[in-house]
Amino acid sequence: MSAMADKEAIENAKVLMVGAGGIGCELLKTLVLTGFKHIHVIDMDTIEVSNLNRQFLFRKRHVGQSKAQVAREAVLRFRPDVDIVAHHANVKSPQFGVGYFQQFNLVLNGLDNLDARRHVNRLCLAADVPLVESGTTGYLGQVTVHMKGTTECYECQPKPAPKTYPVCTITSTPSKPVHCIVWAKDLPFLKLFGDKSLSNDLDVRSSGADSSVEQEEASFFDVQDGESSKAYAARVFDRLFGQNIDIALKNEGAWKERRKPTPLYLDSIWTSEEKYDERADHGSENGHENGSVQEEKPKDDGAALSAMTGLGLKNPQEIWSVKDNARVFLETVRLFLDNRKEELGRLTFDKDDQLAVEFVTAAANLRANSFGIPMQTMFDVKGIAGNIIHAIATTNAIVAGLIVLEALKLLGKDRGASRMTYCLEHASRKLLLMPCEMDVPNPKCYVCSQTPLVLEVNTKTVTLRDVVNKIARKKLGASFPTIMQGYNVLCETGDDIDKHSAAIYEAKLDTKLDALTPVPLVNGVEITIEDLQQEFSCIVHVKHREDFSEEEDDQMRLGGLELLTATTTVVAKDTDVALKATVDVHAASLDEDLVMIDGENAPVVKRKLEERQEPSQKRLKT
């Protein structure tokens, strides 16, 4: 058999495709046109209007339906002889365990989130099934091949952590549009329409605020008895953009080297000839009335409501004036209160919720105006608030084609021909596609190499629940974590646990680590964190520590064995010339050689020098 699979191997191959979105639609089409006849598709999402510009298997009539099911039906119309099984489900569901994965020759990923990618990676390792991973970001794309024991797994190298911003910057000293957008999404939107019982770092304006101030701040955002939605919107407007700015200006020291913000009150926006009822009841300069929206749509239309429509603002790629931002703010608040009252108290920001995007755009722009920051279009705000880099259909098509090429190589049994391929926006060496050799497994990977980890933690203040949620689930990606100390099960999660055992484990969760029984988790104790569904297991050494920085506010840090000592020397054995680095583990920077933990500045073995350069400078193979 040649490097590429022959027709018989292709037709007999059984392929699992995870994700039926932007990449998935292109991939399913390319698979069946290449000759693949046995395909399973898993996707938990339903089709949204915003998908239709690039996910070509879907039409407007399909909005609200299962992506996996509709993709299957669309493909069967032009390839009716193909056996496609569609699952409208979460790939992390227990039904898709190791046994399920073992029936496939290949797993092809078209996912859009880190958590699911990590889960599939571990199942492929446990089932010993090759995984072809992919992703696109605008004009950029990448396809990688992962084979157990032969190449690095998906988690062998660190992935970029989601961008976070200091709370003080968001609440007090914004300097970029994104600061204002994060503020609008995480503070006023949640305070006005979300669950007020949930704690939020942005709830407190300053560390010196006493409890009475905090209580007054929280109660201010409640609708008062007999207060109309218009009056409430105006009162909240003056508080957020006027009074709070005036309070911030009293701290003169904060503005010695910064531009002072300008308070913004409703009375300062409208001319003296304009009356309050006009700004509350009427639309933009074109004379449209705010009330036109709810008269045309039923009250349960939910996310279909739009303040823009009633205000005559038609172009989402135009920057609104301060006056129009104020009008949008007032109108969105009123529409939420009058037309979506049943949802109040449980709303969270959704990029596909038109009214939510309009509110965040207006609130962010009004705050930006106060702080002298450029305002943004609603199109741009939606992208930033939803962590969106707008997808390019042609990039998805190219990446899908590359996935199928790697699948053919794997079926051809010539695994040495597999390549990691980058899709570039601008040509490098006259190439837009840059193939590179695959790397061997990272010996410091805690997933495929089972390297032990160290948890630095304040055992006197941190609870078992913190370890389960913030370490086992969030940092290590365990879907159903079990934590053991020797033969003692400290915590077990999952749908198959009986009620009696679940109650026992639940009772332990809020216990401090040093008070757990029968063995307290204190300095030097070793625990095991497992996920039986993923067949994932990791040994973690507990190291007590109390001197955490402000950035380490959860009193925990997860890293490699070098954390057991103050400093360590790490040798990258796979380099042509061994690279040595002495690491100060309490002041680690982004490029140090520490063990890789996804989303952390944790240490990782340095790769070859050429691999740390741009893709075009790596080892190229055609």
Q: So which residues are the catalytic ones?
A: 168
Q: Any binding-site annotation on 52?
A: yes
Q: Any binding-site annotation on 20?
A: yes
d(CA 337, CA 331): 10
Q: Any binding-site annotation on 601?
A: no
Looking at this protein, which amino acid is placed at residue 470?
K
Sequence-distant (6+) residues with CB within 8 A of 620 are 429, 434, 435, 436
Bridge partners (DSSP) of residue 109 are 18
Q: Any binding-site annotation on 22?
A: yes
Before 603, cis peptide (omega within 30)?
no
Tokens of 518: 């029968």
Tokens of 447: 């997933």
Q: Any binding-site annotation on 529?
A: no
Q: Helix/strand/coil (H, E, C) string of 51-80?
A: HCCCCCCCCHHHCCCEHHHHHHHHHHCCCC
Q: Any binding-site annotation on 372?
A: no
Q: Would you give the end-to-end CA distance of the chain in angstroms?
A: 20
Q: Any binding-site annotation on 396?
A: no
Q: Any binding-site annotation on 401?
A: no
Q: Any binding-site annotation on 43?
A: yes
Of residues 57, 93, 100, 59, the one with CA closest to residue 76 = 57
Q: Any binding-site annotation on 153?
A: yes
Q: Any binding-site annotation on 19?
A: yes
d(CA 97, CA 115): 16
Q: Any binding-site annotation on 92?
A: no
Of residues 546, 490, 554, the one with CA closest to residue 521 = 490
d(CA 184, CA 182): 6
DSSP 619: -
* C-alpha 41 chain-centroid distance: 22
d(CA 495, CA 261): 52
Q: Any binding-site annotation on 37?
A: no
Q: Any binding-site annotation on 315?
A: no
The Cα angle at residue 40 between residues 37 and 44, in degrees rounded to 5: 150
Q: Any binding-site annotation on 222?
A: no
Q: Any binding-site annotation on 110?
A: no
DSSP secondary structure, 135-169, as one string: EEETTEEEEEEE-TTTS--TTSS--PPPP---HHH
Q: Any binding-site annotation on 557?
A: no
- Show the DSSP H helices in 412-509 as ranges: 464-466, 499-508
Bridge partners (DSSP) of residue 17 are 41, 108
Q: Any binding-site annotation on 23?
A: yes
> What helix, strand, coil percent values describe the chain, rounded to 5?
40, 15, 45
Q: Any binding-site annotation on 458?
A: no
Q: Any binding-site annotation on 114?
A: yes
d(CA 208, CA 229): 33
* Tally of residues, the chain: 622
Q: Which residues are annotated as a binding site?
A: 19-24, 43, 51-54, 67, 112-117, 153, 156, 445, 448
Q: Which residues are annotated as a binding site for ATP?
A: 19-24, 43, 51-54, 67, 112-117
Q: Which residues are annotated as a binding site for Zn(2+)?
A: 153, 156, 445, 448
